[in-house]
Every structure is written in structure tokens, then in C-alpha cells.
Amino acid sequence: MGFFSKTFDKLKQALKKTAEVLTTDVRTLFVPGRQIDDGFLEQMLTTFIRSDMGVLNAERLVGEVRSRWKAGKIRNAEEAEQVVRSEMIAGWGGPETRELRFADVGPTVLMVAGVNGAGKTTSIAKLAYLLKNQLGKKVMVCASDTFRAAAVDQLTIWADRIGVEIVKHKPGAPVVVGDGKSVHADPAAVAFDACEAAKSRGIDVLIVDTAGRLHTQDHLMRELGKIRGVIEKRIPGAPHETLLVLDATTGQNAVRQAQEFSKVVPVTGLFLAKLDGTARGGVVLAIRDTLKLPVKFVGLGETPADVETFDPERFVTALFEREPAGK
Ligand SMILES: Nc1nc2c(ncn2[C@@H]2O[C@H](COP(=O)(O)OP(=O)(O)OP(=O)(O)O)[C@@H](O)[C@H]2O)c(=O)[nH]1
Ligand SMILES: [Mg+2]
């Protein structure tokens, strides 16, 4: 199992800057020349809590600034900003923890999971786009979300536009099983076919889409396990990544989802979707402090190009950027 650092570095050349799309009122807080006083600290706390970094995190940061101010070490907003920035940049794993893991030989399999509407299918389109266009990988996607015909159609449209292969089952009439429930094409069977197709067609990366589910839906969680089991059997070492897609606009809820999901499936990394247009970018810090999971990618819009690999330093810089970085 190897990392693919050198080539992967290419992904870091951002296609779209986080700063261009990240809305935050952190920028309006640290006005140059402003003196620290109780009002400033109060406003800082409210702003941070609103950014969804978590109350404890917000209190800790404000406490840090307050104690330095009381000790006479800092006086103005710029100095406070430096304290906050360096705290935000610290405490992440090294860049290697955020790299995508590739198979040494044979297809790499990325399994993608998450709650309904988190952004899974769109994020898969982004991964396919990056892997194909930035790394020159031969990519295949697998429509293992068989619950809705529309889900298969959505993935098909992306695959066609991006120019990657897709494995799907023909939508048929739902089959009624023993307990009277109607079921659709078996998602694990689609995954089986995709693994075989990926091997025989010399695919580099197979990305498996799955239906949205909640960790409380036992049968659906078992189904996820079944898909995973099939992948493990067909391709040794696979899935190389199980990526959990979180919707950044749901803030603290996203953190809780990740905690619950990772109790049931071995999540290896996070894809934080919808980071554009949310004032809750602070959720990234809550993730750092609460979860042992690396944020590997961030989604910054609805098209396949709206994606970046996650870089804490760049992210924090973007949070504080006063002029949107339209360079
Ligand atoms: N602004 C923005 N919208 C996004 C992003 N990612 C996904 N979306 C939108 O979120 C909605 C849901 O995205 P999907 O990719 O269909 O989500 P999903 O998790 O596959 O949904 P289900 O399969 O129904 O569970 C769509 O309207 C997407 O365009 C993002 O990074 N930014
Ligand atoms: Mg979907």
C-alpha cells in the first residue's frame, strides 16, 4: 500500500480558492487598529460560536486571547488575530494523513458514504474529475445507490460529462422479499460487477456511490457492510478509502454524524461538502478537536471542478482573508 505524494501534490494547486467562496464574519472582527476590550472579547465569542467551531473551542480561544491581554502581552485586534490563527493552524496531523491512499497494484477502490443529501454523488463527480484530469487516472464509478432510479441517472450524467466509465444495473421493478419489503437491485451485486469490470478493464480508481442512510438504520448500515464485504473479497486491500461525506452547512450535526458513522464503518477520511456559502466553516475546527478523522477534501460548489484538497493553513488563511483571493 503506498502513498502517491508527488503526483498528489498536483491536487493542491487549487482549482478554486476557498477564500473566494467562504463567507465568514471572522474577517470583520479583527479590524486593524481596534483595541481589545471586553466588548471585543464578547463579540469574538459570539462570532466563533456562530461559525460552528463548538462552544468549548470558542471559549478556549477567547480565553487564550483574554489571558494574554490581561497579562499585558497583547493589546489590539491584529495581535489577537495572530494568537487565534496560530492556535487554529496547530494540532492537525501532517499532510500525509490527508493524502488519498492508492493501491500498489490493481484498482484502488474508494467507497463513499453519508446521510441523505450530504453531497455524496456530487463529491464523487469531483473526485472522478480530479483523479482523471489532474492525475490522469482511469476512473470508473459504480452506482450502488439503487434505491432511486434518479440516483443512478444523476451519476450517469456526471460520468458522461466527465468522461469516466460507469457500472450500473438496469432499473427493474422492485422485488418483494420474504418479509414483505420491496427491494431494488442489490447494491452489493452492483459493487461486485464493478470490481470485476475494474479489474478486467485496467481501471486505476473505482469510486462506489451508496445510498444515503442514517447510522440508526440498522438494515441500511448492514447493507453498507455487505457492499464493503464484496469489495474486500473481489479486490485485495480494498476499499482503500471509505470516505464519509459531511454537509458543512449542518455544522455540529455533521460532527455527530461522523462520530456515529465511524462506530459502524471504518471511515478513513472525510469529504466536507458545501463549504461554500456557509458561515459555519468553523466546523472544520470542531472536527479537528472531536474526531480522529482527517478532512481530505472540501467541496466548494455544485460542479465537478469545485473541489480542493484540504490544507489547514490555507483554510485558516482563507478564514481571515479580507480581500477575497481572486488572484
Ligand atoms: N453549494 C454546494 N452544493 C453542493 C455541494 N456538494 C453537493 N451539493 C448539492 O447538494 C445537493 C445534494 O447533493 P448530492 O450529491 O445529490 O447528495 P447525495 O448525498 O448524493 O444525496 P442522496 O444520494 O440523495 O443521499 C445537490 O443539489 C448538490 O448540487 C457543494 O460542495 N457545494
Ligand atoms: Mg446520491
For residues 243 and 269, is the Cβ–Cβ distance under 8 A? Answer: yes
Q: Is 80 helix (H, G, I), strand (E, B) or coil?
A: helix
The pLDDT value recorded for residue 148 is 84
CA–CA distances in Å: residue 155 to residues 66, 152, 195, 199, 223: 50, 5, 17, 21, 20
Does the beta carbon of 116 lie inside 6 Å of ligand 1?
A: yes
Within the chain, all domains assigned CATH 1.20.120.140 are found at 19-89
Q: Which CATH superfamily is domain 19-89 in?
A: SRP54, nucleotide-binding domain (1.20.120.140)
Under the banding of pLDDT at 50, 70 and 90, the label for residue 2 is very low
- Which of 122, 161, 295 to mutate to test ligand 1, by most ligand atoms within 8 A of the CB atom? 122
Q: Is the CB of 126 under 6 A from ligand 1?
A: no
Q: Could you tell me which residues come within 8 angstroms of residue 160 by beta carbon, excluding any fewer than 6 positions away?
A: none
Superfamily of chain region 2-12+95-320:
P-loop containing nucleotide triphosphate hydrolases (3.40.50.300)
Report residue 314's pLDDT band, with 50, 70 and 90 as the boundaries. Answer: confident
What pLDDT score was predicted for residue 180? 58
Q: Work out the pLDDT band at 54, boundaries 50, 70, 90.
A: confident
315 or 131: whose pLDDT is higher? Answer: 131
What is the rounded distance in angstroms from the CA atom of residue 137 to the CA atom of residue 108?
Answer: 10
> In this model, does residue 327 exceed pLDDT 50?
no
pLDDT at 15: 36
* DSSP symbols for 105-163: SS-EEEEEE-STTSSHHHHHHHHHHHHHHTT---EEEEEE--S-HHHHHHHHHHHHHHT
Q: What angle do CA 269, 270, 272 make, to 5 degrees?
A: 165
The ligand minimizing its distance to the Cα of 123 is: 1
Examine residue 239 and say whether the peptide bond preceding it is cis (omega within 30 degrees of 0).
Answer: yes
Helix (H) or strand (E) holding 296: strand 295-299
Q: What is the pLDDT of residue 234?
A: 97
DSSP type of residue 10:
G
The per-residue pLDDT of the chain, averaged, comes to 87
Atom of ligand 1 nearest to the CA of 212: 25
- Tell me the three state secondary structure of residue 176: strand
Q: What is the pLDDT of residues 5-47, one digit of tens each?
A: 444 444 444 434 455 555 556 777 888 899 999 999 999 998 8
Whether residue 293 contacts residue 287, with contact meaning beta carbons closer than 8 Å, is answered with yes
Instruction: State mean pLDDT over 200-204.
Output: 97
Indicate where the chain has its CATH 3.40.50.300 domain(s): 2-12+95-320
Query: End-to-end distance of the chain based on CA atoms, in angstroms?
Result: 37
Distance in angstroms (rounded) separating the CA atoms of residues 42 and 273: 30
> Sign of dihedral through CA atoms 86, 89, 94, 96?
negative
Q: For residues 175 and 192, what is the distance between their CA atoms, to the nearest angstrom? A: 19
Q: How far is the CA of 125 from the centre of ligand 2 (A)?
A: 10
Of the residues 21, 121, 300, which should be mutated to test ligand 1's pocket, given the most ligand atoms within 8 Å of the CB?
Answer: 121
Ligand lying nearest the CA atom of residue 125:
1
